[in-house]
Amino acid sequence: MAAVRGCNVGVKSEYHANRMRSTTIRMRGWWYDSRPMVGGWFAAGAALCGAGVVLGAFGAHGLRPRIGPDMLAVYETGVQYHLIHALGLLAVAWAAARWPGAWVNAAGWLFVAGIVLFSGSLYFLAVTGPRWLGAITPVGGACFILGWAVLAVAALRAAP
């Protein structure tokens, strides 16, 4: 808005418009505005990358003599998807800085849920052997797929 000569109404109105805009975002909550989550998503991605490397090394050096080759392959699949989607969280941090919004946050939470459900169930299955965990693994896989789809929606919604 342009200010009227000798009057600061335009500046005051612009100030209030910006204030209302920022208040509206804050009132919607943490799940809507992903800008405060940039550091959190990056830290979570980095921590989960580190955990993936540790779990991979544990599988290669600690589990190889203790479990069979078929269960070792299951464990390695869990590590592979864990690391891929931990890197995906770094992409979510980048996207949160570029296209803040609920879609980006949803993608991040879906990746975290996928790592816990998919990779976690494969780790547990490989080490302990209960077959009922096979029913949980696809739920984690669906979280991964939805996470990538939601991240794509966030990018498309932000495109000019």
**Distance set, CA 113 to CA 10, 41, 119, 126, 132 (Å):** 47, 13, 10, 19, 19
R_g over Cα of the chain: 22
Question: Domain ranges in the chain?
Answer: 1-29, 31-158
Give residue 33's pLDDT: 58
Length, in residues, of the chain: 160
Q: Any idea what DSSP says for residue 69?
A: H
Q: What is the pLDDT of residue 46?
A: 96
Q: How does pLDDT run along the chain (160 residues), one tens digit per residue?
A: 454 455 444 445 555 455 445 444 444 554 555 667 888 999 999 999 999 999 999 999 998 888 989 999 999 999 999 999 999 999 999 999 998 889 999 999 999 999 999 999 999 999 998 888 888 999 999 999 999 999 999 999 987 7
- pLDDT at site 5: 52
- End-to-end Cα distance, the chain: 23
pLDDT for res 125: 93
Find, among 96, 111, 100, the residue nearest to 146 by Cα: 111
Lookup: tokens for 82: 């864990």
Eight-class DSSP state of 39: H
